[in-house]
Structures are given as structure tokens and as C-alpha cells.
Amino acid sequence: MRKGGGVQIRGLRELGIIVFIIIISILVGIRNPRFLTWGNLHDMLLDTAVLSVVAVGMMFVLVTGGIDLSAESVLALTGMVAGIIIKDNPYLSPVFMLLFGLLFGGFLGAVTGLIVAKGRVLPIIATLSMMYIYRGITFIVSRGEWIDAHEMPESFKALATGRVLGFSNLIAIALGVYLLFYYFANHTRTGREIYAVGSNLEAARIIGINTDWVIWLVYTLSGALSGLGGVMWVARYASAQNDTAAGFVLTVVAACVLGGVSISGGAGTIPGVFLGAITIGIINNALPMIRVSPFWRMALQGLIILVAALVNVAVARNVERAQLRQREELRMVRHGA
Amino acid sequence: MGERILELRGVSKFFPGIRALERVDFDLETGEIHALVGENGAGKSTLIKIITGVHQPDEGEIFWRGQKVTIPNPTVASRYQIAAVYQQPASFPHLSITENIFLGHPFLRPFSRRLDWKRMHDRARELLKSLGSDLDPITPVGTLSTAQKQIVEIAKALSINAQILIMDEPTAALTKREAEELYRIMRELKSQGTAIIFISHRFEDIYEVADRVTVLRDGKKVGTWMVKDISERDLVRAMVGREITQLFPKAWVTPGRELLRVEGLSKTGYFSNVSFTLHAGEILGVSGLVGSGRTEVAHALFGIAPADRGKIFVEGKEVTIRSPLDAIACGIGYLPEDRLQQGLFLPMSINDNITIAILDSLTRRGWLQPEREYEVSSKMLELLKIKAPSIFSLVSSLSGGNQQKVVVAKLLAARLRILILDEPTHGIDVGAKAAIHQIMSDLAQEGFGIIMISSEMPEILGMSDRILVMCEGRVSGILTREEATQEKIMEMAVNVNWAKLQKKEKVGVDYA
């Protein structure tokens, strides 16, 4: 990571997740060899594509010390509007629909961002309200109806079924998002300013960063990626429903946390979020394959996140204790001298 | 020494109720290290904040290289090549050294506007090397020691070609060797023509590196001297030498039985081996500079941040205090330094504030008895002469002095025996101050034991029966009322190396 030069606390942490992923894969592979087949791994990645795209946007919000609960409703509303448009205009190109998702979601996110950055409403409150508002608008525009597979043109559904270089289009899109935002986070001034705002807001303001603009930007980005995720979701499941992705936002946050993003801001990496999303994908895919009861699945998922969080706390506490000990020692030296 | 690079003429700054700075003149020349000293609250920080553009002066003028300037914010200050290094550097802990140095002014590639990490890393490495450090610039700043963080801050200052470098107590958290390394860097910068303003409580530092020293006291300038022309004793005198004009009403009370005894109280990294006793009817003053561990000891006694080692005895019985609840059960009350943050519920009424800690005793079968609540708070309103329309007035509508009385009322309502008052009259007007002092004196007479932490020398001298002085987490001594003078307290608080000083004076005599 020398040439990236960004946040360095990663290394160890990401290695930990990779080791965890490998151990799980081997254990599950022994119990059920089908797990490690190309077909299954591809399915797993396909199931994780939307989650991983939305998680990138969430990461930037978390890095500034905020949270975007409205992501799931932006996803549902954008998906619904996209579904209605494609139903009425089946000749529209799928690429156009993806762009529409980015722009429409970005607009929804920009509204939320304005409320947080200029309205000074706490992120959790502002995005909670917008979560309900956008979900409500989803019902209003759909008049409570949903859009079925047979109402969508084949060209649109091909977004999920078509392949590039052996990967589903959706996986390719997700990988593209990761490459683009890896560059953005590590090699652009704005990208680094997001980290600065989350690491020390006051200091960021003092060195002349437009902190309000940065905060507005991360919610806009989160909205845009949620909108993109919405279009991907509708193509993948070939249906747009009113309750699409209800509760999904917590899975997104979980993927970020597993990937080492700090809820209190300042820390979080694109590779980390990628691994976090993959880990969630593996848990969801592997547990049924080794016949873990679905009743147990959620509890196990929670347990894994909890362990990850406890490890974080333990590491932080050790660092603090070491610093205090160091301070004490130097005082002893000074007084002894 | 070279040309005059910075000059402040007649600079004043007023905060509500306080004159932080009053018509202060200050000047700085290229290639000099100019020490700035004074007690807590003397105005050093305010002066620095005016120079770095954090505060605006209410009166006076600033000249930069002979031309009159205004410094409306820190960004403009850096345009005038002014940079500051603080004791605890305000940095971005999650980000690398390189980013901490260059965030405000990154290197970008000409066309792509892409960050030029390679050039930034190389430049950062160069800067660090010029400061004698071989830290890897990709290291996150949060993992560095304080000394290393300061070196990063200095590198940051160098990266904007700072000609005026302000160092606020840079050696306070350093070991001897680290401090010596810092002196070396300071001398090096000085030889290159950088002007350095240097704030320190440690006389050792001042005599080691500074050329001139300016003393502030109560927001006014006492004077500027060449360091080689002023002895440490005279410097101490300049820092504290004020006339005591205020009257303090602490009446003599024969100390009663022992209320509190503390033996070898320690908390790693904050204070160690603190021992003292407190008797009924006594006010024990606690003095020391910021960072000496005074407040941390109070927090340990009140269970906010419990001590690691040591024993606490209340009325002869050993007690364990792990939380404020434990402390209150032992009869210990605490009046926090920051009353707005820790002492009051601003949007609630006087009545609610006073009775909040004793609601248990005002209930019958689990139901609150409002009449009894009102009775208690009305009595307190009268006793402490709180100026408010009624006990139902909101605390947020009261003046600072009356708010402080409400905090005291809350303590008194809880039937305690030992009161810890942290800066009880900080930031309140003279009239309210006298009233609080009268209340404290009355309480002592009634048999309370009071520990009073204060930065104000006259208050410490006037109100205390005994004075405990702390320095760098240790008790440097306990003085009785008769022994105590401003000079003695200040000497104990700054930890002057007297052995070394006496040697120096002898040398002086020989020369004479």
C-alpha cells in the first residue's frame, strides 16, 4: 500500500479478514465440496454485488462520522421509478437505466446531504426521516403495485443474466465501482479531504477544507450508489416491489463494520469494505450449504459482527494503555534524574 | 538577532466578564527564541490565538515585517508564514504523516489533478530527515508518541516555510532526551532565521534555549528581559508579584476530627503517590499548573476516573470508590470545573437541579412528594441568596454566579461532609465570587471539610488553611497558611531545579 499512501492502519486488519474468509471457505468446502465450485462462487458474488456497491457509499458517510439510514429507501424508490420507466419505455437502453439510477439516487442523496450539512440535523435523525419519506414516496408512485418480470424487456433483465469475461454484468459493474472509488479515495484531493473531515473536523476546517461541502458530497455519493444498486436489484430479481430491501441498510452497515470502517469516523478503506461485503456474502451462502438452520443464521451473523467489534475495542484499549504507560515511564525518568 | 518580523501594539481582548489581555505590546525578531511565561490564565494562550488568527483583538494593531495586517483566520496566518505547534498536536490521527503535513496544500499532478503521493512522501521524508527523524512518512500519526507528533507538526510548519513558529509547551510531555532533541531542532531553525515564540512552564527550557523572555500576568505584560539578565528568582517574582487587594473571609476554625485521609493514591499516566489528610472545618487549597494532575486527583476521589492504587479513608474507615455513586455514599461531593458541561441541567428549573441527586429521599412509596422538593429548594434559594424569581425559573436564565450557587445548592442538599470544589469561582463576577467565598467559609464553620482546587493565587492564599501544591502528577509539598507565599507556591508548582540554581548564583557571586 506504499504507493497508495492513504490510511495505513489497514494491513493487519484486512489480513485478519482474509484469513477468516479462507478458514471459513476451507471448513465449508470440506463439509460440502460444492461450495468451492466456480458456479457457486459466482452465484455468491452475484448475490453480493448490490450489497457491495451500496456499502461503498455508506463507507464514505461513515468515514465522516455520519450514517445513511436512507440508503435502502433510496434503493427501493430508484428501483421502483426505474421499473415504471422501463415498463412504459421498453426500448430504453440498460446503460441509460444505470445512469438514471446514479443521477436519480444522487439527487435523493443530495437532498439528505443538504439537510445534514446545512440544516445541521444529526445524520441519524435526518437519514431516518428520509428513510421513511422515500419509502413512502415509493408506495405513492407505485400506487401500491409492483412490477413483474414479464413487464420488463429482455434487454433490461440481461443486465443480470449477461456476462462480461465470464462474470455477470452486475459483478463487473461492482468491480468497476470499486476500482473507480479506490482511485477517488486514495488519489484525489477531495477523497482525502473526506478522511480529514472524519478524523478531526475542527482541524479540517482550520486548514481550509470546506467541511459542509464534503459532508454534503458523501450523502450525495451514498445516494448515487444506492440508486445504482436499486437499478441493479430490480434487474437481478426482475421485479420492483414496494418493500424492496427493507432492513437492508443494516446489512450494509454490518459489511462496512466487518471491513474495518470506524463508526466514529476517520477510518475505512475500499479494500476493507470489499472484504466485509464478501464475508457477509459467504456467511449467507455457506451457512445454508452446511445445513445450518435458517433460524440460527441471523444469530450467527450477529455473533460474527460482535466478535469483530470486540476485537476492535480490545485493540484500541491496548494502544491507549501503552501510551499511558509510556507517559508514566518518562515522568519517572525525569523525576529520577 | 535580525529584523523585527512581528509586532503587537496595545493589543486587548475581552471575553464576557474577563479581560484576557489588556494593552499588551509584544515583538519578535528573526532568528530569536522568545519565551512567553505566566501563570494559568495570564493570557498566554489568548495572545497566541490572536497571532494565529483564532481570535480577533478588540483593540490594538499587528505589524508583520513593518506592515500593518489583520489575521482573520488561521489560513491567513499561514499565508504570513505563521505556524503553531501545540503540546497535544491537533492532528488527523487516522491519516499518514505525509497527509498530516500536506492536507492543506497537497502536491497535484499538473493535468490529471491526481495527488502526487510520490513527491509528497519524498518531501515529507526530506523534511523529517532535516529534523533528524527517520520516521516512515506513511505511518499513521495516531500511532506516534507525543514527541514524534510534534516533530510532524514542525515538519508541517517547515512545509509552508514558516518564518514565525509558535511552540505551546512543547516539552511538557517529553522525556529529557526528547526535549534535548527538540532544543537542538529549535536552535537549528533559529540559525536559519526562523523566529520562535516559546511557551513553557519549565524554567529549565527557558534558560536552555530562549534569548528573551516576556512575562504576562492577569492579562497584562509585566516586562521583557534578555534571559541572561534575569535570575530565576526574579522571574518567579515577576510571574506572581501582584498585590493582594481582594478580601477573603475564611474565618479560623479549629480543625475537628479527620474526615478524609488519602494514602499513596496513584493513577498510571496521571498522578502518583498522592497523600494528604482533610479535617472537619478545614479548607485544603490545591494549587498547581494546568496538567499537574489536580483535577485528575479530584476525579479519582469522586470516582469519575478511579485511581489504580492507593487507599482512601473516610472518617477513619477505608473505603473503595469506583463510581460517583460510591463517593456520594461516603459523603463526598464534587463541584466540577466546567459547570455548564458537568454541573448543571440548563433546560431544567432551579428546583429540578437542586433535588436531582436526592430524589430518593423525597419519595413516599416510590412516588415523589413535590411539596418536600419545593421545601428543600426554597430553603437553599434563601440560604445561598440565589437571585431568581422563583425556584421554577430555568437555570439557563441565571447569571454565571447564580448558576454556580445552584451547583453548590445541589451539593448541600445531598447532606455531604466532604466537598471538592474545582475552580469554584472561575469565570464569575466579583460580587458573586465574594458570596461563594462567604458560603465556603460558613460551610467550614459548620464542620464541612473542603478541598478547593484553584488557579487563582489570591484565592488559594486567602481561603486555604493548608495548601497542597502539585507538579507533574506529584505532590511537591503542603504548606500551612502561615508558611505560604505566592513565590513559594509558584516555585513548587514549576519545579525549579534549586540545586542547579544555587550553583549558578554562586558562580555569579564569584564573578562579582
Which candidate, A60, A62, A44, places its Cα nearest to that of A280?
Answer: A44
Structurally, chain B folds into a number of domains equal to: 3
B323/B383 same-domain check: yes
Tally Cβ neighbours within 10 Å of residue A254.
22
Residue B355 domain-assigned (yes or no):
yes
Residue with cell 437502453: A93
CA distance A38 to A34: 9
Residue B103 domain-assigned (yes or no):
yes
In this predicted structure, the answer to whether residue A45 has a pLDDT above a threshold of 60 is yes
Which of B75, B92, B272 minimises the CB distance to A200? B92
Please give the pLDDT value at position A140: 94
Q: pTM higher than 0.95, yes or no? A: no
B47/B96 same-domain check: no
What are the two backbone dihedrals, phi and then psi, of residue A152, each rounded to the nearest 5 degrees? -105, 140
B328/B415 same-domain check: yes
B435, B311 in Cβ contact below 8 A? no
B214/B334 same-domain check: no
Cell reading at A258: 466487518
Q: Given an 8 Å threshold on Cβ–Cβ distance, is A5 in contact with B272?
A: no
Q: Can you give the CATH number for the domain in which B285 is found?
A: 3.40.50.300
Tally Cβ neighbours within 10 Å of residue A324.
13
Give the residue-averaged pLDDT of A12-31.
81
Q: How many contacts does A have with B, using Cβ atoms within 8 A?
A: 115
Please report residues of B whose CB lies closer than 8 A to that of A187: 114-115, 117
B216/B346 same-domain check: no
Secondary structure string (H, E, C) spanning chain A: CCCCCCCCCCCHHHHHHHHHHHHHHHHHHHHCHHHHCHHHHHHHHHHHHHHHHHHHHHHHHHHCCCCCCCHHHHHHHHHHHHHHHHHHCCCCCHHHHHHHHHHHHHHHHHHHHHHHHCCCCCHHHHHHHHHHHHHHHHHHHHCCCCECHHHCCHHHHHHHHCEECCEEHHHHHHHHHHHHHHHHHHHEHHHHHHHHHHHCHHHHHHCCCCHHHHHHHHHHHHHHHHHHHHHHHHHHHCCECCCCCCCHHHHHHHHHHHCCCCCCCCCCCHHHHHHHHHHHHHHHHHHHHCCCCHHHHHHHHHHHHHHHHHHHHHHHHHHHHHHHHHHHHHHHHHHHC
Q: Is the ipTM, as predicted for this complex, more than 0.90?
A: no
B334/B426 same-domain check: yes
Those residues whose C-beta lies under 8 Å from the C-beta of residue B39, and which sit 6 or more positions away, are B217, B239, B240, B289, B455, B457, B490
Please report residues of B whose CB lies closer than 8 A to that of A192: 95, 99, 103, 106, 115
Residue B52 domain-assigned (yes or no):
yes
B148/B12 same-domain check: no
B74/B158 same-domain check: no
Tell me the pLDDT tens digit for each residue of B329-343.
899 988 887 777 777
B312/B371 same-domain check: yes
A53, A174 in Cβ contact below 8 A? yes
Residue B508 domain-assigned (yes or no):
no
B236/B265 same-domain check: no
Tally Cβ neighbours within 10 Å of residue A272.
24
Q: Tell me how far CA of residue B179 lies from CA of A9, B175, B183, B184, B501, in angstroms.
A: 28, 6, 6, 9, 20
CA distance A244 to A233: 9
Give the residue-averaged pLDDT of B344-356.
87
Residue B359 domain-assigned (yes or no):
yes
Instruction: Please give the mean pLDDT across all residues of chain A.
Output: 86
A190/B contact by beta carbon, under 8 A: no
Q: Given an 8 Å threshold on Cβ–Cβ distance, is B93 in contact with A325?
A: no
Give the residue-averaged pLDDT of B37-44.
80
Q: Is the CA virtual torsion A127, A133, A137, A143 positive or negative?
A: positive
Tell me the nearest-neighbour CA distance from B95 into chain A, angstroms: 5
Tell me the nearest-neighbour CA distance from B280 into chain A, angstroms: 34
Which of A5, A187, A262 minimises the CB distance to B96? A5
B99/A contact by beta carbon, under 8 A: yes
B377/B435 same-domain check: yes
Selected residue with higher pLDDT from B88 and A80: A80
Residue B368 domain-assigned (yes or no):
yes
A194/B contact by beta carbon, under 8 A: no
B212/B107 same-domain check: no
Instruction: Please give the mean pLDDT across all residues of chain B.
Output: 84
Helix (H) or strand (E) holding B284: strand B283-287
Which of A1, A202, A328 minimises the CB distance to B90? A202
Residue B129 domain-assigned (yes or no):
yes
Please report residues of B whose CB lies closer than 8 A to that of A264: none
In this predicted structure, the answer to whether residue A2 has a pLDDT above a threshold of 50 is no
Residue B126 domain-assigned (yes or no):
yes
Tell me the nearest-neighbour CA distance from A123 into chain B, angstroms: 21
3-class state of residue B47 by DSSP: helix
Lowest mean pLDDT, pick from A185-189, B273-277, B337-341, B389-393: B337-341
- Domain assignment of residue B73, given as a range: 1-81+164-170+189-242
Please report residues of B whose CB lies closer than 8 A to that of A186: 115
Report the CATH fold assignment for A12-292. Answer: ABC transporter involved in vitamin B12 uptake, BtuC (1.10.3470)
